[in-house]
Structure 1
Amino acid sequence: MTPGGWIALAGLGLAALPAAREAVRTPVGALQKTAPGRFAELSEGRTHYQWFGPESGPVVVCVHGLTTPSFVWLGLVSDLTRKGYRVLTYDLYGRGYSDAPRGQQSPGFFAEQLRALLSDQNLHEDITLIGYSMGGAIATSVAAEEHHRLSRLILVAPAGMGHTLGRMATWATEWPIVGDWAFHMAFPRAHRAAVLAERTLPSTVQNIGDQQISELRRKGFVRSVLSSLRGTLRRDMQSAHRTLAAAQLPVTAIWGRDDRTIPLRAMGTLTQWNRDVRHIVIDDAGHGLPYTHTDQITRLL
């Protein structure tokens, strides 16, 4: 074989690496057989959900973030159900036990999943909606259109105020094909390193680090994260927040003073869009508020 042929062959091998990695990951169908909850058959795919607490309690619906599925809420769920709340958690498409449909994962894409789930569960009014990180942007999108169904909106370290993705993620989101390849190769190691760096943090969710890393072994997860970075986290939610201000829906935003993922300066941006938001800052807290500072969030709610 000529030198050019060897180069071409090597190039093909490198190009195939992401697909080869994806091929050995666990199909979501196999994971769904071990799911702890139930499934709603929605228009874009199966959505895994769980109910907790008394049937007669006030309803709280929780929307998780970019990389950590609904198990991120388990500590908060335990606290809320002891106080008599009825809590619904679910996995966003591409995470946990939910299907991973293709297509751009925009706020509208995720908002439609949540609206469909609420209808499937016959939830029509007096809902407390909680969104964490990217889930804050999703919850805001839904609240802007469905504020008549909500009693209040709680945002925990919310995205949507102009998210800084970091150099690698920004480059990957701006360059199709080449960016896809680079992200599929680099993200798993970066995600694992970020999770391991937080091993010493307190957590009300048992083995949360191991569970976060295990997401890397499911098919569709890495692709879904990249799609969400492109479709949701690069956008700001100014229009939706101004709609909420006009609707006068009670909104509370909870921030971690030491959060490096959603820096505290986002609070100022949100204040410009909706001056009626109640802001609460938790000292010595980073981005993992739902599981590192569960007690404080429970008291604030």
Structure 2
Amino acid sequence: MIWVYLILAAIIATPLIIESTRKPMNDKARAAAPGQFAHLSQGVTHYQWYGPEGGPVAVCVHGLTTPSFVWQGIAKGLAHMGFRVLVYDLYGRGFSDRLRGAQDRAFFITQLNDLLADQGVEDDITLIGYSMGGSIATVFAAQKPNRIHELILLAPAGMCTLTKGLLGFAARTPVIGTWLMLELYPAILRAGLKAERDRPTSVAGINDLQDAELNWRGFIPAVRASIAGILSDDLQEDHALLHHEDVPVLAIFGSEDNVIPLSSRDILKRWNSDAHTAVIEGAGHGLPYSHTVDALEAINGFMQQSD
């Protein structure tokens, strides 16, 4: 009988031990990172600038599992259009600090506020968000509409529930939820990456870069905290406020996106009838890097129209 308990204990302990042995994000890990680092109120944030100094500022917010490298193609395209582009890693991802605790709207707004202040970025910002970053960009813009020149959302979260099923249970449930995320999430993420592997990309090695995030301690807990936090928010009031404040909004969706369904476009239009939308045919959830040219064309057309 004791062998049963020993086996059960080993099963329970294994994902916790694996997490504890993952690489820590520290100064040694950051030595070869591109860009720079800001010491903000919550911790260290990795960031990088693209484009000409003095150009209008565009700030890009990445998604749940893809750090700032996801913006390489978009950022270079915006820089070619004359923008000064700021990309950064959300806490728990890339080269930024791994922080414990809730990752709700206040958490992410604080990081972005701190970074903009640190970099001397003031108003008239083109704010761009991808996936979960679309939620972060939306709530930031709704809180500070006077600072936003335009809001651009790529495959944005916030219009549909993403916290159902096993991941939702794992995110909301103490103790057992932590174990489930550590045990099951690597396989879930890798299955999603496998489905996207054959798509074209403007970011070299994008799938391997995303997979490598699993090697860092604190990444999976950060994903869990975000699912329970910002990704559990209904953003109807935020989008309604943006409509009331006349903030120009463009939302771009992929016709084959199995994470953010195309029905989100219709929900957004109900919440903000002035929002512009575009659909990229054949694009999945990775549209910023798989359909970079199409996304940039939609962005450029929107900017010309709104100006």
Aligned match of 1:222: 220
Verify: 1:14 aligned to 2:7, yes or no: no
Alignment of 1:214-293 (within 5 A): 214-293=212-291
Letter of the aligned partner of 2:258 in structure 1?
A: R
Structure 1 gap ranges (5+) = none
| CA deviation vs aligned residue, 1:135-164 (integer Å, no higher than 9, x gap) | 000000100111111100001110011223
Aligned with 1:28: secondary structure?
A: coil
| CA deviation vs aligned residue, 1:129-188 (integer Å, no higher than 9, x gap) | 000000000000100111111100001110011223452212212322112111110110
Aligned match of 1:110: 108
Letter of the aligned partner of 2:95 in structure 1?
A: Y
Between stretches 54-63 and 161-170, larger displacement belongs to 161-170
Asked if the contact 2:19–2:182 (Cα under 8 Å) also holds between the matched residues in 1, the reply is no
In 2, distance between residues paired with 1:83 and 1:272?
A: 32
Aligned match of 2:168: 170
In 1, distance between residues paired with 2:46 and 2:36?
A: 6
| CA deviation vs aligned residue, 1:42-63 (integer Å, no higher than 9, x gap) | 1111000001111011111000
In 2, distance between residues paired with 1:122 and 1:65?
A: 24
Asked if the contact 1:162–1:235 (Cα under 8 Å) also holds between the matched residues in 2, the reply is no
TM-score by length of 2: 0.94
TM-score by length of 1: 0.96
Asked if the contact 2:213–2:219 (Cα under 8 Å) also holds between the matched residues in 1, the reply is yes
| CA deviation vs aligned residue, 1:235-263 (integer Å, no higher than 9, x gap) | 21112111111111111111111111000
In 2, distance between residues paired with 1:165 and 1:286?
A: 19
Aligned match of 1:27: 24
Aligned match of 1:157: 155
Structure 2 gap ranges (5+) = 300-307
Q: How large is the RMSD of aligned CA atoms in angstroms?
A: 1.2
In 2, distance between residues paired with 1:202 and 1:124?
A: 36
| CA deviation vs aligned residue, 1:16-40 (integer Å, no higher than 9, x gap) | 2222111221110032222111111
Aligned match of 1:207: 205
Aligned match of 1:95: 93
In 1, distance between residues paired with 2:164 and 2:32?
A: 35
Aligned match of 1:181: 179
Q: Percent of counterpart pairs with the same letter?
A: 47
| CA deviation vs aligned residue, 1:196-219 (integer Å, no higher than 9, x gap) | 221110000001011000000011
